[in-house]
């Protein structure tokens, strides 16, 4: 799953494994994945409103259509940085590093006006004289703005809190990106801490409007949010994530340390802790009693329309929920057959269900200490790094690192996720691993997970997209969920070509991950279209995957919170696999996997129909050249 650090700031209007909006403000949400403050029906939009902000920008004119479009894209970039200051900080733009996103209703209205203004400017640009590249840019910009405006009708700000993203767990991550290297940097940080309670009060106001409108999340999710807030409210000053920037800095900061320490303690005690206490009381006494019992999005007003939008936005295809359900059941059956073969190869005597139970419970498949687990992840990635030149012509310049998911968000977090590097290259991308509940983190899925989240998955694909400097900024930040997550799932399969699945249990782990994503097609539609209960979804996952029950419940809650996003993985992978098989068949001995991958990634994330169109044109040109 691709998410951006502080996803909520990248997609504040709604995040991931994780966030995603085509115009990340998602994913990637972020933009970049996954996952944001307010989620339409607990995450329908994720990052779609990245393009909204306060106040229309001026129309910077140029001498021709291309100049006008380039001016529009630059105005949009400045607009995003100004209106989503946490995201700007993430990307290395520190002009607004003392500010927070405005969550007041009037700010949302102003950002909606700006979004319409951007769309109007794009539509009014004469496209007759545009080059094919400029025409593509304009069409994509219009498409993403159209999707964002369609999403606005669902009022995503009415549901600002979720167990995987929201201001309560996203804001503490500010310490990861805020410039705090010298004493003078702390002034901006302190202003943000002072403003955090105001942000939460605005979110509470929006949540109350959601209650009045009948737009509330499922109770099971807000129970987890309550636990997260209680944890944050219970920290001592020294244990607070917000105090971390001063730890170990006494000698470095010298005579200025004591004043900084006193002010940071004051802000944690008088602003941060009371804000979490207030939010905890609101959730417990007012919000939880109003939450719905039904897990599916269909329980909300216009539920069918909401889910149809979620399916369209995350898959980029015109599939119906019933069609997706049928695809999922077909995939489950096919993968089950492959699993039987690997089970036999291991020498296990018993049924597949018994083999899955064996994998879930035998201690040999689980670590009891996180240190060797993290070391093994590093070893897997080192092996894959060495194989990348045999699979890709172009490799990213940006490095990546390995980190543990923070304690305060780990309980409701997925197994792992990826946070992309900022645009300015000041930090690497990070593959985050959940080191809690080690009994639910099997060794045999580690290879597939590492390949998906880091290389050749999210890090390679997203870093290459960021380095496409010839493209407009908004193109480098598009988050097409089906492309991004489809690529991540396809990247898992490249482990076979790199020789990383020689062990039958790691091979089974790759199949287990493929089965997991196939089950998502069934369970997501079941929850949000067919009226399944949470327990029905959990039972289906337990019957068909090797995941532990604790992991399955966490995953199902993620699908409840993020309708439609889980569909993107298998749908996107199927399309990429289809394109590769077609290229191999049509090009025969001329097929080169490095060229195929480079062509696939050279335009950044694209909607699947457009990706297919471009790859078909490449195959046709290659065939003509050969003849």
| Residue 23 confidence class, pLDDT cut points 50, 70, 90 | very low
Whether the per-residue pLDDT at 119 is higher than 50: the answer is: yes
Q: What is the pLDDT of residue 48?
A: 29
CA distance 554 to 1: 14
Find out whether 80 and 25 touch, Cβ atoms under 8 Å.
Answer: yes
CA distance 142 to 123: 7
Q: What is the pLDDT of residue 103?
A: 92
Go through 485-524 and write b for each residue having 16 or more CB atoms within 10 A of its CB, e for each that does not.
Answer: bbbbbbbbbbbeebebbeebbbbbbbbbbbbbbbbbbbbb
Could you state, in order of their start, the residue ranges of all structural domains in the chain?
Answer: 364-497
pLDDT tens string 492-506:
999 999 999 999 999
Of 32-41, 349-358, 485-494, 594-603, which gets the smallest average pLDDT? Answer: 32-41
**Helix and strand numbers, DSSP H then E, in the chain:** 26, 4
Whether the per-residue pLDDT at 120 is higher than 50: the answer is: yes
Mean pLDDT of all residues in 457-470: 95
Whether the per-residue pLDDT at 51 is higher than 60: the answer is: no
pLDDT tens string 343-375:
999 999 999 999 999 999 999 999 999 999 999
Place of tokens 């695809």: 327
Q: What is the pLDDT of residue 627?
A: 67
Of 412, 457, 413, give the one whose Cα is nearest residue 432. 413
CA distance 567 to 571: 6
Q: What is the pLDDT of residue 47?
A: 31
3-state helix, strand, coil in the chain (%, to 5): 65, 5, 30
Of residues 19 and 132, the one with the higher pLDDT is 132
Neighbours of 201 (CB within 10 A): 16
Q: What is the pLDDT of residue 63?
A: 61
Mean pLDDT of all residues in 473-482: 89
Find out whether 479 and 24 touch, Cβ atoms under 8 Å.
Answer: yes
DSSP letter at 349? Answer: -
Mean pLDDT of all residues in 21-34: 29
CA distance 140 to 289: 42
What proportion of the chain, given as a percentage, has pLDDT over 70? 90
Mean pLDDT of all residues in 573-601: 97
What is the rounded radius of gyration, in angstroms, for the C-alpha atoms of the chain? 24
| Residue 339 confidence class, pLDDT cut points 50, 70, 90 | very high
Q: What is the pLDDT of residue 53?
A: 37
The dihedral built from the CA positions of residue 150, 152, 153 and 159, taken in this order, carries a sign that is: positive
Kindly report the average pLDDT of the chain as a whole number: 89
Residue 156, CA atoms < 13 Å, CB-side half-sphere? 38
Whether the per-residue pLDDT at 515 is higher than 50: the answer is: yes
Of 7-21, 50-64, 84-98, 408-422, which gets the smallest average pLDDT? Answer: 7-21
| Residue 264 confidence class, pLDDT cut points 50, 70, 90 | very high
CA distance 305 to 411: 32
CA distances, 151 to each of 52, 308, 435 (Å): 11, 11, 35
- Token pair for residue 123? 């539509």
Q: What is the pLDDT of residue 50?
A: 32
Whether the per-residue pLDDT at 270 is higher than 70: the answer is: yes
CA distances, 378 to each of 375, 384, 512 (Å): 5, 10, 21
Q: What is the pLDDT of residue 435?
A: 96
Mean pLDDT of all residues in 284-302: 96
- CA geometry: angle at 236 spanning 96 and 164, to 5°? 55
Q: Is 201 left (phi over 0), alpha (psi -120 to 50) or beta?
A: alpha
What proportion of the chain, given as a percentage, has pLDDT over 90? 79
Whether the per-residue pLDDT at 181 is higher than 70: the answer is: yes
Of residues 551 and 520, the one with the higher pLDDT is 520
Residue 425, CA atoms < 13 Å, CB-side half-sphere? 8
Give backbone dihedrals phi and psi of 432, rounded to 5 degrees, phi first: -95, 135
Whether the per-residue pLDDT at 16 is higher than 80: the answer is: no
């Amino acid at each position: 799953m691709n998410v951006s650090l502080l996803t909520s700031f990248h997609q504040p209007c709604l995040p991931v494994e994780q966030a995603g909006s085509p115009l990340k403000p998602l994913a990637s949400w972020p933009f970049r994945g996954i996952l944001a403050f307010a989620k339409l029906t607990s995450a329908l939009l994720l990052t779609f409103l990245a393009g909204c902000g306060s106040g229309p920008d001026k129309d910077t004119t140029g001498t021709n259509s291309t100049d006008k479009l380039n001016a529009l894209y630059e105005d949009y970039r400045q607009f995003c940085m100004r209106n989503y200051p946490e995201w700007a900080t993430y990307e290395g733009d520190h002009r607004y590093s003392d500010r927070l996103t405005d969550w007041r209703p009037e700010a949302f209205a102003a950002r909606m006006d700006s979004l319409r203004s951007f769309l109007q400017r794009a539509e009014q640009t004469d496209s007759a004289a545009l080059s094919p590249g400029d025409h593509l840019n304009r069409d994509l910009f219009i498409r993403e703005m159209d999707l964002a405006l369609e999403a606005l009708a669902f009022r995503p700000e009415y549901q600002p809190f979720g167990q995987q993203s929201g201001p309560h767990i996203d804001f503490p991550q500010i310490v990861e990106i805020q410039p705090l290297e010298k004493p003078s940097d702390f002034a901006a940080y302190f202003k943000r801490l002072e403003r955090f309670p105001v942000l939460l009060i605005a979110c509470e106001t929006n949540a109350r409007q959601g209650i009045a409108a009948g737009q509330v999340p499922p109770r099971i999710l807000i129970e987890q949010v309550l636990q997260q807030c209680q944890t944050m409210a219970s920290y001592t000053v020294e244990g607070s994530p917000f105090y971390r920037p001063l730890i170990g800095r006494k000698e470095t900061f010298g005579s200025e340390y004591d004043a900084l320490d006193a002010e940071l303690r004051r802000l944690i005690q008088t602003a941060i802790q009371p804000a979490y206490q207030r939010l905890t009381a609101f959730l417990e006494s007012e919000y939880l009693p109003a939450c719905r019992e039904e897990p599916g999005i269909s329980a909300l007003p216009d539920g069918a329309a909401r889910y149809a939008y979620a399916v369209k936005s995350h898959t980029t295809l015109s599939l119906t929920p019933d069609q997706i359900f049928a695809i999922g059941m077909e995939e489950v059956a096919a993968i089950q057959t492959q699993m039987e073969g690997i089970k036999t190869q291991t020498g296990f005597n018993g049924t597949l269900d018994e083999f899955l139970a064996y994998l879930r419970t035998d201690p040999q498949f689980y670590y009891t200490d996180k240190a060797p687990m993290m070391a093994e992840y590093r070893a897997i990635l080192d092996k894959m790094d060495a194989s990348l030149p045999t699979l890709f012509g172009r490799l990213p310049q940006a490095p990546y690192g390995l980190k543990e998911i923070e304690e305060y968000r780990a309980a409701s977090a997925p197994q792992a996720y990826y946070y992309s590097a900022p645009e300015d290259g000041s930090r690497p991308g990070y593959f985050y691993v959940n080191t809690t509940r080690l009994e639910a983190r099997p060794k045999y899925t580690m290879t597939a997970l590492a390949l998906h989240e880091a290389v050749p998955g999210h890090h390679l694909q997203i870093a290459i997209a960021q380095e496409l400097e010839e493209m407009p900024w908004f193109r480098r930040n598009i988050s097409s969920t089906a492309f991004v997550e489809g690529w991540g799932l396809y990247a898992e399969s490249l482990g076979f070509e790199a020789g990383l699945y020689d062990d039958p249990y790691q091979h089974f782990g790759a199949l287990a991950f493929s089965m997991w994503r196939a089950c998502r097609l069934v369970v997501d539609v079941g929850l949000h279209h067919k009226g399944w209960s949470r327990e029905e979804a959990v039972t289906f996952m337990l019957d068909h995957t090797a995941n532990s029950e604790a992991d399955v419940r966490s995953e199902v809650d993620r699908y409840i919170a993020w309708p439609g996003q889980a569909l993107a993985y298998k749908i996107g992978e199927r399309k990429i696999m289809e394109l590769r098989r077609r290229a191999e068949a049509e090009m025969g001995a001329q097929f080169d996997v490095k060229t195929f991958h480079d062509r696939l990634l050279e335009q950044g994330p694209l909607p699947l129909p457009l990706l297919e169109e471009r790859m078909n044109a490449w195959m046709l040109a290659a065939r003509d050249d050969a003849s």
